[in-house]
Amino acid sequence: MIRRATLGPWAAAVAVVVCTCVAQPPQAFSVSGRDSTSVQAAAAGQPGVGEGLTQFYSSKQRFSVSYPSGWFQAEGVAEILDITNFHRARDEEGIALKVGGAEVAVNAAPPDVRSVDDWLNRDVPDDASVMGGSSVEQAQVPLPSPPEDGCRTLRRVSWREEIAIGAYFARTMYYCSASAGLFRIALTNWDGDPAQNRLRKIALAIALSLRTR
């Protein structure tokens, strides 16, 4: 997942971020027609998103999701979903988030996280509520018929995070409470991206496709 880093004068164009990876390819699974429709509908009209879906399954964290096939899973990452809407270069220090780039990461809660509020307090930086006059926004996502093996409740939290002078990431987190535990769907993109709403719809659709097993 993309995290805050110390950047040089080109921060407005490229952010250098840290990625921890493991060496195993993701596994595939089958999704229902309903799940496929929700993700495809969210992806409609999004630049760089191709037709169809790719399925991801984490055997260690025991969850599955589907995502637009035009996005790309990080090489060597097997136990979490970590996708971007562009091919990213890798080196020993990290990954660059390009202008117009976005990342979605999905993972289960660490063992010491006991609640959504606990996780949220760890995620939101101390200065997020006052940075640039932007506050942390929270909303409960309505789920009229939540699946037994999916998100029973879903909370969206968003904020701006300064990574260098005049350069901000837009963070959008969907915190999923499932019968099997807590999961987070994290969207990171540049603040002010005109595709922000479509990116959030894609992240939401991925959250709605999440199943535990």
pLDDT in tens, 22-50: 323 323 323 333 444 444 444 443 333 34
CA dihedral over 189, 195, 200, 201, signed as positive or negative: negative
Q: What angle do CA 124, 125, 127 make, to 5 degrees?
A: 125
Q: pTM for the complete prediction?
A: 0.76
Q: Per-residue confidence at 128, pLDDT binned at 50, 70, 90?
A: low
How many Cα neighbours within 13 Å face the side chain of 42?
25
- Cβ–Cβ contacts within 10 Å for residue 139, how many? 10
CATH number of the domain enclosing 147: 3.40.1000.10
Residue 3 lies in a domain: no
Q: What is the pLDDT of residue 146?
A: 94
Residue 6 lies in a domain: no
- Between helices 196-209 and 33-43, what is the axis angle to 10°? 170
What's the domain range around 25?
Answer: 15-212
Q: What is the pLDDT of residue 131?
A: 43
CA dihedral over 104, 73, 182, 52, signed as positive or negative: positive
Residue 120 lies in a domain: yes
Residue 9 lies in a domain: no
Q: What is the pLDDT of residue 88?
A: 80
80-127: pLDDT as tens digits: 999 999 988 765 445 578 889 999 999 999 999 999 999 999 998 876
Q: What total number of domains does the chain contain?
A: 1
H-helix or E-strand containing 40? helix 33-43
164-196: buried (b, 16+ CB within 10 Å) or exposed (e) per residue?
A: beebbbbbbbbbbbbeeebbbbbbbbbbeeebb
User: Do the Cβ atoms of 53 and 107 come closer than 8 Å?
Assistant: no
Residue 149 lies in a domain: yes
